[in-house]
Chain A
Amino acid sequence: MVDGVSFGVEEGEIFGVLGPNGAGKTTTVECVEGLRVPDAGRVRVTGLDPVADHREVARVLGAQLQQSQLQPKLTVREALELYASFYEHPSDWKALVERLELGARLDTRFGKLSGGQQQRLFIALALIGGPRVVVLDELTTGLDPRARRDTWELIEDVRAGGVTVLLVTHFMEEAQRLCDRIAVIDKGRVAALDTPAGLIRRSAGGTVVSFTPSAELPGAELRALPALASVADRDGRITLTGTDETVTALLSLLARLRVTAHQLRVTDATLDDAFLDLTKEDAA
């Protein structure tokens, strides 16, 4: 169920769609791919309607679907040649294959490939038509860390070539690394739309402070710190989230109480924290 999801993706941008399982991410991009007919609303891809102008959209859009397979007895080479034949100006699939390290697997049948190899083949098929827009649904699911990093580099190169990328993920590191902007979708709505840094800044608790005080601190005073988002005390180690203002106020409080903060750490929250915060807020 998707209700009132609205966003615009700029040309040449890597746009992330982030959200918990079942939030409506895939439903949203299926409307973009023309695989699903929206009950209401308006979707345009390079100015075209993915349902009414399906073939025109298919020529400029490359898709990697979350769940799909190929004919089990089709070899990698045959799949690439077949899909290349669907487009007027296909990319050079040999270069793609080298890039995705499928060169040694060209004569292997799809059914005999490992999960990661199948995934890489689907990435190749999404790019094979030389698309202007690529929609990648769970790009790196099933890839090992090295293949994942290689894939990210490939996507950055693809974008450098002027291609617009719509990336569905629930993998924060991926979104933070690749995306220019992110729409956080939760319960079928856009919960937030910003740059990764913006999302982190916006969320309550963008800054995390943790320390072990040399003496017990009065809880009331801690909770009164400005812009405080949360306080936690685990075995004498205190973790606060808030903003820079919270940190400054905390330091003066410690000085005033003459308490030493051992192992003091101040870190920025990750996109992970921001995501949890954004999707939790919506639930409340």
Chain B
Amino acid sequence: MSTAVLRTEIRLFGREPGGIFWILLFPTLLLVILGSIPSFRQPDPSFGGLRPVDAYVPVAVLLGLIVGGVQSMPQTLTGYRERGILRRMSTTPVRPGALLTAHMCVYGGAALCSALLALAVGRLAFGVALPRQGAGYALALLASVLVALALGSVVTALSRTTKIAGAIGSAVFFPSMFCAGVWLPVQAMPDALARGVGYTPFGAAAEALNRTAAGHWPGWAHLGVLAVWFVLLTAGARRWFRWE
């Protein structure tokens, strides 16, 4: 880990208006738009008595993470590889891994900021209760961030160019959004579908966030699914990653 590399990458992230918008602002903006629809503020039996806007806060939290991990990070990293930036840096005493670690910190950190923003706006604008099991929520969120970064690393590892990274990223992005509940929150999914989605990284993440938001400790099953995905994806990224 090199603090100089991290500081530089944070500064560079600040110069990307696209990244700032899509990771930090867009998920909360979506929450605000949905929350502005009157029917989304009425309790709904298909959401287990929650208001749809309540169910969309965890979705917004996961959305920032998916955009940051699966779309933005692979674009940046494959771009660095394409431009020979990784190569140039590997002729210096700094470990080339420092650049990868820095990116994970930047995108993971941005996703966490985005999550906090969604929680704050949900609370202040729509009266969505803050997670009742705070520690459990933090644990579930952290596990979700790690899985998103690991998934992004696999996309990076498999993509030779930024174009390919864009294509693979999108192919992973839409299913991930679906599983996170962007179109239909997991609470409202039919049981069989919800069960299947619970085995995907972001489906499990959504379930874990929902449980902790409601005041329970995250279930071992969901944390276990996240842990297995993390281990598999990290192993895949390590196996397939190329510096050049």
Please measure, in the bound complex, the distance between the C-alpha atom of A11 and the C-alpha atom of B102, giving whole angstroms: 37
Main secondary structure of the interface of A (DSSP, over half): loop
Interface residue total, chain A, C-beta cutoff 8 A: 26
> Which residues of chain B have C-beta atoms less than 8 A from A129's C-beta?
92-93
Please measure, in the bound complex, the distance between the C-alpha atom of A58 and the C-alpha atom of B90, giving whole angstroms: 8
Within 8 Å of chain B (Cβ to Cβ): is A114?
no
**Stretch touching chain B among A65-73, A94-102, A261-269:** A65-73
Residue from B8, B87, B92 within 8 A of A74 (CB atoms) = B8
Interface centre among B8, B80, B88 (most CB of A within 10 A): B88
Closest to B244 in A: A35
> Which residues of chain A have C-beta atoms less than 8 A from B95's C-beta?
55
Within 8 Å of chain A (Cβ to Cβ): is B15?
yes
Within 8 Å of chain A (Cβ to Cβ): is B167?
no
Cβ B84 vs Cβ A65 within 8 A = yes
What does the 1/0 interface line of A73-99 toward B look like (CB < 8 Å)? 110001001110111000000000000
Cβ B5 vs Cβ A33 within 8 A = no
Please measure, in the bound complex, the distance between the C-alpha atom of A72 and the C-alpha atom of B11, giving whole angstroms: 13
Cβ A69 vs Cβ B2 within 8 A = no
**Known contacts A65-B87, A69-B84, A82 near B4 by CB under 8 Å:** yes
Residue from B4, B12, B87, B94 within 8 A of A68 (CB atoms) = B87
Residue from B2, B11, B84, B87 within 8 A of A85 (CB atoms) = B2
Residue from A33, A69, A74, A78 within 8 A of B91 (CB atoms) = A33
> Which residues of chain B have C-beta atoms less than 8 A from A87's C-beta?
92-93
What does the 1/0 interface line of B1-36 toward A look like (CB < 8 Å)? 010110010011001100000000000000000000
Q: How many A-B residue pairs have CB under 8 A?
A: 60
> Which residues of chain A have C-beta atoms less than 8 A from B12's C-beta?
71, 73-74
> Which residues of chain A have C-beta atoms less than 8 A from B4's C-beta?
81-82, 85-86
Residue from A55, A65, A73, A81 within 8 A of B88 (CB atoms) = A65
Within 8 Å of chain B (Cβ to Cβ): is A34?
yes
Interface residue total, chain B, C-beta cutoff 8 A: 20
Cβ A35 vs Cβ B85 within 8 A = no
Please measure, in the bound complex, the distance between the C-alpha atom of A158 and the C-alpha atom of B8, giving whole angstroms: 29
Chain A 23-66 interface residues, beta-carbon cutoff 8 Å to B = 33-35, 55, 58-59, 61, 63, 65
> Which residues of chain B have C-beta atoms less than 8 A from A85's C-beta?
2, 4
Cβ A68 vs Cβ B92 within 8 A = no
Interface centre among A55, A72, A85 (most CB of B within 10 A): A85
**Known contacts A58-B91, A85-B2, A68 near B85 by CB under 8 Å:** yes
Cβ B88 vs Cβ A78 within 8 A = no
Cβ A69 vs Cβ B92 within 8 A = no
Closest to B243 in A: A35
Cβ B8 vs Cβ A78 within 8 A = yes
Please measure, in the bound complex, the distance between the C-alpha atom of A218 and the C-alpha atom of B84, giving whole angstroms: 60
Chain B 63-101 interface residues, beta-carbon cutoff 8 Å to A = 80, 83-85, 87-88, 90-95
Cβ A71 vs Cβ B88 within 8 A = no
Cβ A71 vs Cβ B80 within 8 A = yes
> Which residues of chain B have C-beta atoms less than 8 A from A73's C-beta?
12, 15-16
20 other A-B residue contacts (CB within 8 Å) besides A35-B90, A129-B92:
A35-B87, A35-B91, A55-B95, A58-B92, A58-B93, A59-B93, A65-B91, A68-B83, A68-B84, A69-B88, A71-B8, A71-B80, A73-B12, A73-B15, A73-B16, A78-B8, A78-B11, A85-B2, A86-B94, A87-B93
27 contacts between A and B (CB under 8 A): A33-B91, A35-B87, A35-B90, A35-B91, A55-B95, A59-B93, A61-B91, A63-B88, A63-B91, A65-B91, A67-B84, A68-B83, A68-B84, A70-B88, A71-B12, A71-B80, A71-B85, A73-B16, A74-B8, A78-B11, A81-B4, A82-B5, A85-B2, A86-B2, A86-B92, A86-B93, A129-B92
Interface of A toward B, CB cutoff 8 Å? 33-35, 55, 58-59, 61, 63, 65, 67-74, 78, 81-83, 85-87, 125, 129
